Structure 1
């Protein structure tokens, strides 16, 4: 994001700060998530496809290639060996803050496994929050409706077994 903003307006002044936590700790949203490169189960059945996929993944994560990806997309490296990035100071501050954070966790809707949100609750929440922001729904009825939807969603969704995922 930083590189795209800079390309659009090189004179634009950017800054960054962590929102203070009441307990004084640095709690940031980020870290590893469910995104990334993987080999599909279907491709893994074919030795040639599997070998090609593995070769691409190794190529992609070579420091000289991964560096270009991270710099272009303002992506925080997730590899053990971090490439030497040539990035704007503000982005380096974000990278350093992520490395030093007391707590680094994915967004509320980016968790997986036992902490995954039921898809219907996530989708309902987005729709409902848009209605609140547009002024077509009030906060009290929204809270009641979100609680009801959560209860129903949790009865029909098991993130471990996949029950409720369509």
Structure 2
């Protein structure tokens, strides 16, 4: 429990730093940026960076109240949100075109990481289905069907991981 409290406090400090950065960016930008992040990443839709940080703060405060899968899902969501905000709010001179491109890249990557986590959850369930089919008196057709679904899921995971890797390499080149 002590370690969880330490992590919670550390995350709160990160959120506070992001809040300050967001306030500075909101003050510096003469033109407001629409659609900061992918709609699956944040529930808010605002043209101010601070609103997204405040959503993260609310989610962080909700985390200890949840348990089990709900807590795990929210923790994953928080991780993706914080990662996207750190990339989007990186200190430096704010150039609208660079900011828009950076935000789009961060949102896309975060969305793809979220989809990858979802695919891994599907894979886990499909592996369990296959195991159940193999242990129970099932027809060979049913076992084959479970194996084929698992293979397609694993193929989708490999393709998505490759797309993420390529995008991350492209983002790294653009930062230099």
**Larger RCO, structure (CA 8 Å, separation 6 or more):** 1
TM-score in terms of structure 1 length: 0.29
Larger helix fraction of residues: 2
